[in-house]
C-alpha cells in the first residue's frame, strides 16, 4: 500500500461516513456552548458563586470581549458579511446542487456557527446598552449559552439526519 492510499484511507473524503467528521462536530458544539461571547461559562458560575476577584474578572473580560466584537463588526462587518455570503453560497451550490458531499459537510458545520455569532453580537449589544451588573451579565451570558445550545442541538439533528440519508442513499463501499 502506498502513502497516498494510506492517507486517503485515514482521511476519508466521504465526510458523513468518517468518524473524524463526527468527532469534529461534537468538539465544535461542545466548545461553542462553553464559550458564551468569548467568555468561558465556568467563569460566570464562579463569579456568581464566589464573587470578589472572580466577579471583577468576569466584568473585565465581558467588557473587553464585547468591545472587541463590536469594534470588529463596526470596522469590517460589511466585508465579513460579503465574504460569508460568498462562501456559503458557494458551499451550498457545490454541496446541494452539484452533490459534493465534502461541501455539504463543511456547510452543515459552519452555517450554524454564523447563527451563534449573531447571538453573541446581540448579547454584546445588549451589554453595551445597559450598565453591567453581575446579575445582568450572568443573565445575558446564560441566555446566550442556552440559545447556542439550542442552535447546536438543531444543527446536530439536521446534520445527523442528512448524514444518515447520504450514507443510506450512496451506500457504504465494500458492502
Cα-based distances in Å from 98 to 8, 92, 94, 104, 168? 22, 9, 5, 10, 18
Give the residue with greater pLDDT, 131 vs 162. 162
Q: Please check the confidence at residue 8 and state whether its pLDDT lies above 80.
A: no
Question: pLDDT band for position 44 (50/70/90)?
Answer: very high
In the chain, % helix, strand, coil (3-state, to 5) comes to 85, 0, 15
| Contact by Cβ (8 Å): 141, 61 | no
β-bridge mates for residue 35, sequence order? 40
The three-point CA angle 90-91-93 to 5° equals: 65
pLDDT tens sequence across 64-115: 999 999 999 999 999 999 999 999 999 999 999 998 899 999 999 999 999 9
Nearest Cα residue to 148 out of 35, 33, 65, 27? 33
pLDDT value for 159: 95
pLDDT value for 13: 58
Domain limits of the chain?
A: 51-170
Question: pLDDT band for position 173 (50/70/90)?
Answer: low
Averaged pLDDT score across all residues of the chain: 90
- The stretch 146-171 carries a mean pLDDT of 91
Count of helices and strands (H, E) across the chain: 6, 2
Q: Please check the confidence at residue 57 and state whether its pLDDT lies above 80.
A: yes
In the chain, % of residues over pLDDT 70 = 91
CA atoms within 13 A on the CB side of 70: 14
pLDDT tens sequence across 9-29: 666 557 788 888 899 999 999
What phi and psi, each to the nearest 5 degrees, are found at residue 23?
-65, -45
pLDDT value for 172: 53
What's the grid cell of residue 172?
457504504
What's the grid cell of residue 105?
459537510
Amino acid at each position: 500500500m502506498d502513502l497516498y492510499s494510506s492517507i486517503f484511507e485515514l482521511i476519508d473524503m466521504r465526510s458523513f461516513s468518517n468518524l473524524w467528521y463526527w468527532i469534529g462536530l461534537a468538539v465544535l458544539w461542545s466548545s461553542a456552548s462553553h464559550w458564551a461571547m468569548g467568555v468561558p461559562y465556568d467563569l460566570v458560575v464562579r463569579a456568581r458563586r464566589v464573587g470578589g476577584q472572580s466577579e471583577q474578572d468576569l466584568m473585565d473580560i465581558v467588557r473587553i470581549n464585547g468591545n472587541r466584537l463590536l469594534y470588529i463588526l463596526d470596522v469590517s462587518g460589511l466585508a465579513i458579511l460579503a465574504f460569508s455570503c460568498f462562501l456559503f453560497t458557494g458551499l451550498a451550490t457545490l454541496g446541494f446542487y452539484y452533490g459534493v458531499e465534502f461541501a455539504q459537510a463543511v456547510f452543515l458545520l459552519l452555517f450554524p456557527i454564523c447563527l451563534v455569532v449573531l447571538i453573541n453580537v446581540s448579547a454584546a449589544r445588549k451589554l453595551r446598552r445597559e450598565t453591567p451588573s453581575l446579575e445582568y451579565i450572568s443573565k445575558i451570558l446564560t441566555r446566550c449559552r442556552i440559545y447556542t445550545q439550542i442552535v447546536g442541538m438543531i444543527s446536530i439533528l439536521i446534520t445527523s439526519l442528512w448524514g444518515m440519508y447520504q450514507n443510506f442513499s450512496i451506500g457504504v463501499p465494500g458492502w
